[in-house]
Structure 1
Amino acid sequence: MKLKYQLGIDLGTTFSAIAVVDETSRPKILPTHMGKTLIPSVIYFGGPTPIIGDEAKEMQALGEADIASFFKRNMGDPSFVLNFGGQDYTPTDLSALLLRQLKTEAEAALGAPVEQAVITVPAYFNNFQREATIKAGEMAGLTVLRIINEPTAAALAYGLQNLAHHQTVLVYDLGGGTFDVTLVRITASEIEVLATDGDHELGGKDWDDRIATYLGQRFLEDHRVDPLEDALAFNDLLVRCETAKKQLSQREQARVVISHEGERETYTLTRAQFEEITQDLMERTQHLTEQVIKEAGLNWQQLDGVLLVGGSTRMPMVWQYVKQMSGKKPMTGVNVDEAVALGAAIQASMDAGEMGGALFTLASQKKIIDVMSHSLGMVAENEDRSRYINSIIIPKNRPIPCVESRPFQLRTAHHRDNQLEVYMLQGESDEPTQCVILGKYTFSNVTHVQGKPAIIDIEYAYDKNGVVTVSATERATGNKLPKQEHMPDDFSWLSSPPPEEIVVPVHLSVFLVIDVSGSMEGAPLAEAKQAAKEFVKKSDLAHTSIGLIEFGSDAKMISAPTQSAKHINRAIEQLSIQGSTNMADGIKIAHSELKSVDDPRFVILLTDGYPNNANAAKKAAKAVCADGIELITIGTGGADENYLKELACSDENSIFAQAGTVVSAFSKIAQVLTESGGNIQITEDGKRKKGGFLSFFNR
């Protein structure tokens, strides 16, 4: 294999940069043919061929109209198209032109061909934007080794310089067009991303726009003509406002000249005025920053510092605001304009080194554990089939790559191509219409199963790039099902109730009731948490709601029934030890919550001991069974096996699991409930009929 350079590319909204690991095993920024380290992400289409970079930026300043800039904000948006010279350009096309120019600049600086690259993206980019970035790299003639989140790349550049330190650092990345905030833990051997968030429509351009709006309004009041309504005048004003913004980082005031329709005025803008009219933009960064810290379960006092990245962090207001938020001066040690490209070069060298193709490798390396900023879910029906919901499968901030498998029930018929349709979503909202709809995945050739639903195991995954993959396997045959991906034009049906159907998979309502008394401390509680998560993982959340109750000295509901794996798993993590064994109240809470819910309903109780009041617990259990709710008991440790059989609705519904087998017991129960549909039969008129007790040991 011929050894070659690998590029690290910071594909920025306003400026881009390129870097490599050199012969000294250190990352370095490559200068352009003009000797500059930053390349404006601007393209001019007024000549015979596109002009990219500094010359295009100059043409923009002169008021030329055939300019493409800030197109990164629209990556992955198929409706965004610019036309120059009769040819349409998508943001992917424009990014490919820019990347090809960056490749050319790198090859000129190195005197050697470059074929491989790591390209950075905002941490908050969704699946469409990430796929579009990879495609742009390929269109530019590059093999994209991976895409890496910009704050992670910056942390990698910083971490390489701080080899011996263990630090928890917040990376505050305010670029020209996007804002990301990422919490990382840096050790001698790895950089672990704990949480991330961002806004790909918040960056330095918004500060420029705010100055333009403010001064444009003043000009309108003074001269009764609006420079913001004329494209050329507005473009000229934006260029002047960007210059003023940079000047205000160095001095207390700047002057902006506005000329429009024969009128001319010079305005003085002070730094204090600038900070006042952009205060809300800073507050938006604060909200996201504090949200990330909260999601990581930390506070400001537990952080070692804040690392500023991105050219817009040069504004004094950012430095002051971060100091005020964190109570500490921002950290130094990286060039805010170059850190992202340097980190990308480090990652590119490591990736190529693993394949044996790196020309120069790093003297020291750190393992990267990155996360995805968006939850991955699917469209499902809620418990009473009154609306569609986003059933989250992989929650945000899960380390990538990652994969989750979920079973799905499909009623099949003879003599037709039985198909399963899955609509995938990215986002945190319970409402599908407030999430990014990734499209429809159709799996076909499902084998007909007589008398019961076919079970399809669907695998949902984020790869190392944060790109979504979905596959399906037929459980009965083990066959991988063929898949088609499609983006329908109409999703208005998501705002309406699901249609009435004669036969639908029944909806299961389940409460996990977990003993958290003192005897469960340590390994037993850890195993209980793992078992509960395994139950969630093996359940068909499209047709199952799961709630969580803990009982110790007191009993309380940690989570109401939900179809979101994210929410129930978060609740499971909250289980904590507390004193004695108030089992009766735990059962009563589950009974109260399930009383008004349609069958099938289940209470799955786990305990390792004997209740405070055995008679009260037995009475509560009998009331549950009398109401048609299946009570399943799982004993472990010092639990009384015979007593638990008395609590369960039948002997078959009572299991004793030795330490180390609790997880498999919960997994088996979830599998049985999914495959049997809760042991519910569907009559010809579509009504539900109870089919009897579950017999776990006979399945």
Structure 2
Amino acid sequence: MRRMPYVLGIDIGSTNTAAAVARRHGTTWTRPEPVPLNAGSVLLPSVLHLSEDGSLHVGEPTTDDGSRITRDFVRRIGDDVPLLLGGEACAPQTLTAELATWVVERVHAFEGGPAEAIVLSHPASWRPYRRDLLRRALFDLGLRTVTLLPRTVTVAEGHAARGFGGTTAAVYALGGNSFEAALVRRTPRGTYETFGTPQGLDPIGGADFDEALAAHVRTVLARELAATARRGAQAALRGLLPECGRVKRELTVDLAADVVLPLPTGPARIPVTRAQFEDMIRPTVQATVDLLLRTVHGAGLTPAQLDGVLLAGGSARIPLVTELITAALPVPVEVEPDSQLTAATGAAMAACQVVSPRPRRPEPAREPAAVAGAGRAAIPATRRPHHDTTVPGDPPPRPPVRILPLELPKASRLALARGRGREG
């Protein structure tokens, strides 16, 4: 059976990694579809751990050896202080490239061949220095033609793939440990670019919501935990944050849920209503919305000049998020059913345009609010597009990810020692 050509989009977030592919169908591309990266899930924890034999593994380990586990390394790219993994200094860009390479190899095996183009998202606030660090690390591991795009651009492309037809939008990306706000606009070629100054709150994200709920549970169960043997209480509390994450997701659709904590004396059930949970997280959510509004005003715009607010990230589906955004910016708020995949599907959409870019079209007259158009699953083939990945103060953009070998540093000792030892 002949393999269908495909392109790949990757989003390595602070807590989870996702990937999506779009397949060529004649002269067009299918709508991007998520790729299963983990057993029974399309989301893979953005975690690397080093085994005793020196092989690198992805995902959460079965043993709890903190010295051999690393996470949230993308945020550290550009930091002069290396991360320690198994006692060895590792550059965060090398770890990020290792995870990206694992994803590419897994999709290669799943699809039966290499992708025609790969797009990898990155934080919108990155300047050229951090992008170049990641480009070189990808090159070292054999990924030599990866296009890097700001996550806010891939989020906009993800919403466009599902039918958003606006010209100018604000992007609200709420990750596990990070928040980004930026403005995007459609270019004459139909792609998106950032403008204004992207803003962020770091580290603020969905993990703070889990911790707020966990603090509530610990307060409610203070007496029971004090009366429980120390070892039994510690074992129970280790599973508290994952359980609070489950309840957080349940409260996005239900008005009440129970936090269930197994204690030595029996399971404890702590009922939580959506209203209670929203009161716990309201100050943090309000801080993100205030920053989003400042981002709009900082670009010299008013909320009425936007065609919408585009949401992404696992916690973006919390009803309070939409409520507070709508109160501050009275424009349509767009959120996908699985908002953790928005950036990855948008990256795949952008990868289609790397292979089969749209023709340049005349700039339309700017209306107060653009009329929503049809989805963009079908992409005609013409010339290569230009994706603007710059922020104010950057030098003129250059072709994405063509790095000459002479510019590259030597591959890290960690990567060389492993060779083909990466495993899932």
- Aligned partners of 1:288, 1:464: CA distance in 2, in Å? 32
Matched, 1:70 2:87: no
Matched, 1:14 2:7: no
2:35 to 31, 36, 57: 31
Matched, 1:246 2:249: yes
1:16-70 superposed Cα distances (whole Å, 9 cap, x missing partner): 22233411223523523646433222334457544324xx37x48xx67554333
Preserved contact between residue 314 and residue 338 of structure 2 (Cα < 8 Å): no
Query: Closer, same or farther in 2 for the Cα pair 1:124/1:296, shift >3 Å?
Result: same
Which has the higher mean CA deviation after the structures are superposed, 217-226 or 331-340?
Answer: 217-226
1:372-411 superposed matches below 5 A: 372-373=390-391, 394=393, 401-402=395-396
2:47 to 31, 42, 45: 42
Query: Closer, same or farther in 2 for the Cα pair 1:401/1:45, shift >3 Å?
Result: same
**Offset of 1:120 from its aligned partner?**
0.5
1:214-270 superposed Cα distances (whole Å, 9 cap, x missing partner): 33344446644899xx98766432222222211222322333344689897543332
- Aligned partners of 1:111, 1:204: CA distance in 2, in Å? 36
Matched, 1:208 2:210: yes
Preserved contact between residue 179 and residue 200 of structure 2 (Cα < 8 Å): yes
Query: Closer, same or farther in 2 for the Cα pair 1:15/1:350, shift >3 Å?
Result: same
Matched, 1:277 2:294: no
Higher radius of gyration, 1 or 2: 1
SS at match of 2:388: strand
Letter in structure 2 aligned against 1:293: V
1:544-600 superposed Cα distances (whole Å, 9 cap, x missing partner): xxxxxxxxxxxxxxxxxxxxxxxxxxxxxxxxxxxxxxxxxxxxxxxxxxxxxxxxx
**Offset of 1:102 from its aligned partner?**
0.3
**Offset of 1:318 from its aligned partner?**
1.3
Preserved contact between residue 311 and residue 334 of structure 2 (Cα < 8 Å): yes
Which has the higher mean CA deviation after the structures are superposed, 136-145 or 117-126?
Answer: 136-145
Preserved contact between residue 119 and residue 146 of structure 2 (Cα < 8 Å): yes
1:651-686 superposed Cα distances (whole Å, 9 cap, x missing partner): xxxxxxxxxxxxxxxxxxxxxxxxxxxxxxxxxxxx
Matched, 1:175 2:175: yes
SS at match of 2:217: helix
Which has the higher mean CA deviation after the structures are superposed, 254-263 or 172-181?
Answer: 254-263
Query: Closer, same or farther in 2 for the Cα pair 1:216/1:74, shift >3 Å?
Result: farther
1:556-567 superposed matches below 5 A: none
Preserved contact between residue 32 and residue 105 of structure 1 (Cα < 8 Å): no
- Aligned partners of 2:234, 2:400: CA distance in 1, in Å? 38
Which has the higher mean CA deviation after the structures are superposed, 42-51 or 260-269?
Answer: 260-269
> Which stretches in structure 2 are left out of the alignment for 5+ residues?
358-377, 402-424
SS at match of 1:370: coil
Preserved contact between residue 171 and residue 181 of structure 1 (Cα < 8 Å): yes
* Percent of aligned positions that are identical: 27
- Aligned partners of 1:70, 1:250: CA distance in 2, in Å? 28
Partner of 2:112: 111
- Aligned partners of 1:232, 1:138: CA distance in 2, in Å? 43
Preserved contact between residue 145 and residue 348 of structure 1 (Cα < 8 Å): no
- Aligned partners of 1:225, 1:271: CA distance in 2, in Å? 29
Query: Closer, same or farther in 2 for the Cα pair 1:116/1:330, shift >3 Å?
Result: closer
SS at match of 2:380: coil
Preserved contact between residue 157 and residue 334 of structure 1 (Cα < 8 Å): no
- Aligned partners of 1:231, 1:47: CA distance in 2, in Å? 27
1:120-176 superposed Cα distances (whole Å, 9 cap, x missing partner): 01112355543443344234431143311111112123335659x553222211122
2:84 to 79, 82, 95: 82
- Aligned partners of 1:76, 1:106: CA distance in 2, in Å? 28
Aligned length: 368
1:247-266 superposed matches below 5 A: 247-258=250-261, 265-266=268-269
- Aligned partners of 2:292, 2:173: CA distance in 1, in Å? 10
Preserved contact between residue 166 and residue 307 of structure 2 (Cα < 8 Å): no
Partner of 1:237: 240
Preserved contact between residue 13 and residue 176 of structure 1 (Cα < 8 Å): yes
- Aligned partners of 1:12, 1:464: CA distance in 2, in Å? 24
Partner of 1:297: 300
- Aligned partners of 2:108, 2:56: CA distance in 1, in Å? 19
Letter in structure 2 aligned against 1:177: N
Preserved contact between residue 124 and residue 200 of structure 1 (Cα < 8 Å): no
Preserved contact between residue 50 and residue 56 of structure 2 (Cα < 8 Å): yes
Matched, 1:51 2:71: no
**Offset of 1:112 from its aligned partner?**
0.5
SS at match of 2:32: strand
Letter in structure 1 aligned against 2:32: K
Letter in structure 1 aligned against 2:388: D
Letter in structure 2 aligned against 1:70: D
Letter in structure 2 aligned against 1:40: P
Query: Closer, same or farther in 2 for the Cα pair 1:215/1:313, shift >3 Å?
Result: same
TM-score, normalising length from structure 1?
Answer: 0.46
Query: Closer, same or farther in 2 for the Cα pair 1:47/1:271, shift >3 Å?
Result: farther
1:615-626 superposed matches below 5 A: none
SS at match of 2:245: helix
Partner of 1:427: none
Preserved contact between residue 121 and residue 347 of structure 2 (Cα < 8 Å): yes
Query: Closer, same or farther in 2 for the Cα pair 1:108/1:302, shift >3 Å?
Result: same
- Aligned partners of 1:37, 1:116: CA distance in 2, in Å? 20
SS at match of 2:20: strand
- Aligned partners of 1:23, 1:315: CA distance in 2, in Å? 35
Partner of 1:397: none
- Aligned partners of 2:316, 2:160: CA distance in 1, in Å? 20
Preserved contact between residue 127 and residue 390 of structure 2 (Cα < 8 Å): no
Matched, 1:154 2:155: yes
> Which stretches in structure 1 are left out of the alignment for 5+ residues?
355-360, 376-393, 395-399, 403-461, 467-699
Structure with more of its chain in strand, by fraction:
1
SS at match of 2:142: coil
- Aligned partners of 2:84, 2:234: CA distance in 1, in Å? 15
**Offset of 1:282 from its aligned partner?**
0.8
- Aligned partners of 1:261, 1:50: CA distance in 2, in Å? 36
Letter in structure 1 aligned against 2:178: T
- Aligned partners of 1:465, 1:10: CA distance in 2, in Å? 17
